[in-house]
Every structure is written in structure tokens, then in C-alpha cells.
Amino acid sequence: MINENDPSTLSTSGRLLSYNNAVKEGLKTGQQFTALMDQLINTKDPKELVDAAQELSVFELDSDYVTFPHQYNNTDYYLIFMSRLLELHDEGEAITLESHEDNQHLTQQITALDDLGVFAFISANDTTGGVYYQDRVTGEILFYLNLQRRTMRFNSSAITKLFIETYVDKIEKEQLLKATDLLITFGQALKTDFGFDVDFNLLDTNNNEFYAFQTSNLSGEIVDKLFVTAAEENYMLEHDQDGAVLELAPDLKLKIASHNATGGAAWGLYVSDHDQAVSWFKVLLEYPFLRKWYLENIDDLQIRSDSLVF
């Protein structure tokens, strides 16, 4: 008895027909793939862009009868998505994509960093399609991205190590700011175009942003060190009812606080300026004495990142 689901029971012509149909299905899958690629590469519609990227990131191109020898990794489609979204926001020339034929994967370079950084997405292995944006030279992971959950989280530790420690003496401050501003632009685009929940961490310029320290019980000795180093640079750190305030410029203040915005006990800091254009990251770049104090006490002062993804 012939069972169409069991090729061994088919006649010769039946087996050939079954084989031919399987090839057709495989080729149809290839056509679906190329249609999604066309959408990812050419669309001007942000919604179509993110839909294509999400589908391609989990797309299985090969079948039992049709295999495609030259394929990108699933995470590469996130890189194309990032590049295309920046292009839609007039930042297309700020990055370049490199195709590596040896193992068929993509990497990205940020123009402002010259040849210092080579970036790519890697899987976060969190079962929901989350990925990490990683510098392949140092291994530092700058942010987490999840298209399905519509979330993005910046990693303060990696940004500090890469931009404040590794790059700070190798490239001009303006170039470092251009590079991080590009990452911020990407995050802002995710918020405005798709409603993503984005935590900019130490890159956030909002005056209400509370940069929580890694330690919840900051020692007086570390604050005293700041009093001394600030005085050496002709700045006066003044005691406040729940911490200390340092006026860096007529319109720029740094406040170390023992409580967060809701009154909960947690050490951290605020940066405030009239235009809400300055982040803790920018302060670290601009003021070497604060950078030195921060790095020398990094185990306590490290700005806390989302522990669920890093």
C-alpha cells in the first residue's frame, strides 16, 4: 500500500514526485528569505524594518533537500537592522559593515573610532532572541537588545572599560562622544519608532536619572577622597543633607546622594544641567580628576546595570 508520507512505499514516479515537491518547498523557502532580505535592505518604513529583522533572526533557510552554502549568522540580521535604522535617522555614514567571506559573518565599525573597534551581535542565549552588541577586539558587551521584548539595556561596566579606560588616551574626546552619541541615537530611534523600553544607564542625560552605585553603603573614606581631589582642582565639594554637591560649572552640578528619587536607601549620583545634555559619562570624559577618583574606586562606584541581562 502506498503511503505518501513514507517515500519507501512510493513507486519510482511517486518517489521522484515527492523529491521534486520537497525541492520546490525548499526553493519557496529561499524566495521567502530573499523577500525578507529585500524588505530589510530597502524599506523606508521602520515597522517593516523591525518585522523583517525579527523574522530573519529566527529564519531557517536550509531544508532536507535544499541547502544554501553562503549564509549569514542569524545575529547578523540584527547588525543589518541597526545599520538600516541609523540610516533612516540620517546616520548611515557613521558606520560601515564588513562582510567576512571566510566564515560568512558581518562585523560593524563605528567611523568615529577609526580602526579601534570591531563590533558584532552575539546570542544572549535567553530563549527569547536577545542579543549582545560586543566589541570583538576586547570582548566588552556594550548593550543588550531584544526585538521580541522591545527592550534595550546599556552596560555601564563595558562602556567604562572601553571608552573611559581603553580608548580615552588613544582617540580624541570629540570622537568618543560621537561614537557614544551614535549608540544613543540608535536607542532613541528604538524608543520613538517602536516604543522600546531603553535604559541608557550612565549615558542618560536626564536630570532625574539616578546613577546607582554598585555598593549600597558607600564609605565615608571614598567621599573624603573626592573632597581632597576636588579641592586640589579648585572645586569645593559641599555637604548636603543626604550626601554632597559639587558645582563643576555655573550650570552643571554633581550630587552624590544616599537616597534615590523615591527616597529608598541607595547610594548613587545625579548630574544636572539646564539643557539636560550632560550625562555622567560626559562628566567622566570632561573632568580627569573625577575620572581618576571613579576608576580608583570602581568596585564601589561602578554604575549598576540591569542584573537580569548582564
Please report the DSSP string for 198-236 in residue order: EE-GGG---TT--EEBS-SS--HHHHHHHHHHHHHTT--
- Identify whether 125 is part of a domain: yes
Q: Which three cell numbers stand for residue 78?
A: 540584527
Sort 148 into a burial class: Cβ within 10 Å, 0-12 / 13-18 / 19+: exposed
Q: Which residues contact 216 (CB under 8 A, 6 or more apart)?
A: 265, 266, 267
* pLDDT on residue 104: 66
Q: Which three cell numbers stand for residue 307?
A: 542584573
* Contact present, 247 and 208 (Cβ < 8 Å): no
- Report helix angle 173-194 to 46-56, nearest 10: 100
- Identify whether 230 is part of a domain: yes
> If we measure between CA atoms, which residue out of 164, 155, 163 comes closest to residue 199?
155
* pLDDT on residue 281: 98
By residue range, what is the domain housing residue 237?
211-301
Same domain, 158 and 114: yes
Indicate the residue among 203, 225, 257 that finishes a domain: 203
Same domain, 106 and 184: yes
Q: Would you list the DSSP string of 23-67?
A: HHHHHHHHHHHHHHHHHHHH---HHHHHHHHHHHTT-----SS--
List pLDDT tens digits, range 190-212: 999 999 999 999 999 999 999 99
Q: Are strands 197-199 and 252-259 parallel, antiparallel or unpaired?
A: unpaired
The number of distinct structural domains making up the chain is 3
Separation CA 128–CA 125 (nearest Å): 8
List pLDDT tens digits, range 270-281: 999 999 999 999
Distances (CA, A) of 282 to 82, 186, 190: 24, 18, 22
Same domain, 227 and 196: no
Separation CA 176–CA 170 (nearest Å): 10
Q: Within the chain, which residues score under 50 in pLDDT?
A: 1-2
Indicate the residue among 71, 96, 114 that finishes a domain: 71
* pLDDT on residue 2: 42
Whether pTM exceeds 0.75? yes
* pLDDT on residue 101: 67
- Identify whether 159 is part of a domain: yes
* pLDDT on residue 71: 80
* pLDDT on residue 262: 73
- Identify whether 238 is part of a domain: yes
* pLDDT on residue 8: 54
Separation CA 255–CA 271 (nearest Å): 7
Q: Which three cell numbers stand for residue 162?
A: 572601553
Indicate the residue among 146, 170, 203 that finishes a domain: 203
Same domain, 196 and 219: no
CATH number of the domain enclosing 249: 3.30.310
Same domain, 150 and 193: yes
* Contact present, 55 and 43 (Cβ < 8 Å): no
* pLDDT on residue 18: 79
Same domain, 101 and 190: yes
Same domain, 188 and 97: yes
- Identify whether 308 is part of a domain: no
- Identify whether 101 is part of a domain: yes
